[in-house]
Amino acid sequence: MQSIEIKAPLTLTTERLRLRQFTEADLPDYAKMLADDEVMRYMANGQGYDLDAAWKSLALMLGHWRLRGYGLWALEEIESGRLLGRAGLYYPQGWPGMEIGWLLRRASWGQGYAYEAAQAIREVAYSHVGASSLVSLIHPMNARSRRVAEKLGGKACKKLEIQQKQVLLYSIPRS
């Protein structure tokens, strides 16, 4: 079996967050987040996931790390140890570029966690992973995510259809 080169640190730490690898023990909290229709409003088919779909999502994230050497981290609040969501780098086959993305449970919205994580992830993408550019694919109606991308200095460059959904492609510059 060919070993993959891990390009990104397996754990990152910011002022309030620990970005770490997901484990199967995260499934109950992760599934609860993905079951929330409002959290998933602009993702996939716009509806919450059942437990089976959440497990497949978790497996997909871990597989991405295995194939690419980087991926999405679990966002854990340092103070409480609580799982707040996910954030990281995503670049599956056929994607328009290396994407920086985030998804948080509803109780964690509006507290700056997505931006805090995205800043650290952007630095890793350019310094460790070797990204030449980053994008963020955001549903046009997702004002919260659009604000995070814009706070990162991102500019909406064009509209695309990805997996039967219209999205705005944001170009995310180096810090």
**What does each of the 175 residues of the chain score in pLDDT, given as a tens digit?**
456 788 998 999 999 999 999 999 999 999 999 999 999 999 988 999 999 999 999 999 999 999 999 999 999 999 999 999 999 999 999 999 999 999 999 999 999 999 999 999 999 999 999 999 999 999 999 999 999 999 999 999 999 999 888 999 999 999 7
All structural domains of the chain with their residue ranges: 12-131
CA distance 43 to 48: 9
What would the two tokens of residue 154 be?
A: 């991102």
At the topology level of CATH, where does 12-131 sit?
A: Aminopeptidase (3.40.630)
Distances (CA, A) of 90 to 13, 69, 99, 102, 129: 19, 11, 5, 10, 12
∠ Cα 97 102 107 (to 5°): 165
In what order do the strands lie in the sheet containing 83-90?
Answer: 12-13, 17-20, 72-77, 83-90, 99-104, 134-138, 165-172, 155-162
Is the pTM value of this prediction over 0.85? yes
Give the rounded distance of the alpha carbon of 72 from its chain centre. 5
